[in-house]
Amino acid sequence: MKSTLCVVVFCSVLAAYYIYIPLPHTISEPWKLMMLDATFRGVQHLGNLAHSLGLSHHIKVLNFAVTFFGMLSPTSSEGVRVTDTVFDGVQVRVFEATRGSNSELKRSVVYIHGGGWSLGSARMQSYDYLCRKMAEDLNAVVVSVDYRLAPEVHFPEQYNDAYLATKQFLLPEVLAKYSVDPNRVAVSGDSAGGNLAAAVSQQLALDSSVTNKPKLQSLIYPVLQALDFNTPSYQQNRDVPILYRPLMVKFWLEYLNGDPSFIHSLLVNNHTSLDLSQVATSREKVNWTLLLPSTLKKHYKPVVQATGTPKVIQEVPALLDVRAAPLIADEDVLKLLPQTYVLTCEHDVLRDDGIMYARRLEQAGIRVTHDHYEDGFHGCMIFGLWPTYFSIGIRTMHNYIKWLDQNL
């Protein structure tokens, strides 16, 4: 009996040690987040073990765990018709609100899911729920893009999938098929999907063959640059779940098909050192000392190396490609973009990516709504239903859809 009790106590202490991490006091529902993070870290450890043993790619293990219990078939409801189809070779899930007459033109949102360009699906419960809710609340047609993922494909294929599907949907005959008002279409996405949405919006603005341009773009805690991994938000939130700083660097290297050995160079900004002349112009476009308010700069200092590792840019030139890093686009391109919504979270390494983009868009004359959550963390908006229910998830989702309703 005593030995059993000792084992139970030992296991409980071990579990508590693994689960507990110090979190900022302002973060939403910290114990829930600790449990979620412990699960996520556990799966990452299993994935790394499987990878080291040659059993499977660590990203595949992580994606299997993320999607296994939450993949849904296209199930229609009383107010929303759901179908899976293909737009220009790309899988999409379409949510059509059935309220109103067939002749009534509806608003529409093209939604691109997040997941570090490696995880998730339009068929996941969380994204199915979000897009279904958007379609119903907005009486709209929502197209959720199921783009291909790393490690099977790398940049620019994820971007190409998102662009081709969106461009196909914007064709006059396709919009007419779905009874969509061509003047009321938004492009949106979260995290890596926000990255793709921003890149797609830029290219649509430049593409003269696209006659129907989006009215809005809405970006949810987007990742927008890979030149500075030491912005104040990267420094402040490096140890805050669920998106740790090294994990974001791993996602970037996987997306851009870079050598994993470059992780340290990116973490210390060796790839953007002052001796690399080809980086100078792009580096200025992510200069947070000029783009962030003093309330966010706080005591943090820029990390700029005098000499660096030229091999990184030579082998991963996509780090300087605007299709991968929309924040470094020229102002002439930004001036062409539609009205924009940017959602950021205080406890997120990507906070400053979104804020800097919002600032650059404003400087280019674009009307921007910046919605910031002091208690938010990365990924919170998709955690709005059981078993990962967070009040911040409900709040961010509600306000995001409310903004779309008022502006689309």
pLDDT greater than 70 at residue 14? no
pLDDT of residue 9: 43
Contact 394, 362 (CB under 8 A): no
Q: Tell me: the pLDDT tens digits for 147-159?
A: 999 999 999 999 9
Question: Which pLDDT belongs to residue 396?
Answer: 98
Task: Give the up-direction half-sphere exposure of residue 117: CA atoms within 13 A in the CB hemisphere.
Answer: 31
The mean pLDDT of the chain is 93
Distance CA 375, CA 25 (A): 9
Cβ atoms of 129 and 207 closer than 8 Å = no
Q: How far is CA 253 from CA 194, 257, 315, in A?
A: 18, 6, 11
Of the listed ranges 67-76, 108-117, 156-165, the least confidently predicted one is 67-76
Confidence of residue 38 (pLDDT cuts 50, 70, 90): confident
Q: What whole-number distance in Å separates Cα of residue 126 and Cα of residue 191? A: 14
Whose structure tokens read 């999409």?
A: 92
Q: What is the pLDDT of residue 385?
A: 83
Q: How far apart are CA 366 and CA 325, in angstroms?
A: 19
Q: Please indicate whether residue 197 or residue 46 has the higher confidence score (pLDDT).
A: 197
Residue type at position 183:
N
Measured between alpha carbons, how far is 121 from 129 in angstroms, rounded to an integer? 12
pLDDT at 70: 82
CA angle 257, 38, 267 (to 5 degrees): 35
Evaluate whether 221 touches 344 at the Cβ level (below 8 Å): yes
Catalytic residue from among 28, 108, 191, 201: 191
pLDDT digits 0-9 by tens, 124-146: 999 999 999 999 999 999 999 99
pTM: 0.95
Which tokens go with 345?
Answer: 């979270």
Residue located via tokens 């299709």: 323
Tokens for 393, please give them.
Answer: 């998830």
Compute the distance between CA of residue 266 and CA of residue 312 in angstroms, rounded to an integer: 8
d(CA 3, CA 23): 34
d(CA 18, CA 59): 22
* Residue 67, pLDDT score: 82
Per-residue pLDDT at 44 exceeds 90: no
- Structure tokens given for 17: 């040690």
Predicted pLDDT of residue 152: 97
Q: What integer pLDDT is reported at residue 369 of this predicted model?
A: 98
The residue from 128, 161, 190, 348 that is catalytic is 348
Q: How many CB atoms lie within 10 A of CB 97?
A: 22
Report residue 324 CA to chain centroid gap: 12
Is 172 in a helix, a strand, or coil? helix
Q: Is the pLDDT of residue 108 over 60?
A: yes
Closest Cα to residue 225, out of 252, 250, 254? 252
CA–CA gap between residue 295 and residue 164 (Å, rounded): 40
The continuous run of DSSP H or E covering 253 comes out as helix 245-255
How confident is the model at residue 165, as a pLDDT? 98
Q: Are 225 and 343 in contact (CB under 8 A)?
A: no
Q: What tokens does 15 get? A: 């579990």
Q: Compute the distance between CA of residue 241 and CA of residue 34 in angstroms, rounded to an integer.
A: 8
Confidence category of residue 18, pLDDT binned at 50, 70, 90: low
Q: For residue 303, is pLDDT > 70?
A: yes
Q: Is 190 a catalytic residue?
A: no
Residues 6+ apart with CB under 8 A from 357: 198, 219, 222, 224, 326, 327, 342
Q: Which amino acid is at 374?
A: E
pLDDT score of 388: 83
Which range (1-15, 330-344, 383-397) has the least confidence?
Answer: 1-15
Task: Confirm whether 207 is a catalytic residue.
Answer: no
pLDDT for residue 3:
62
Segment 280-301, tens digit of pLDDT = 999 999 999 999 999 999 999 9
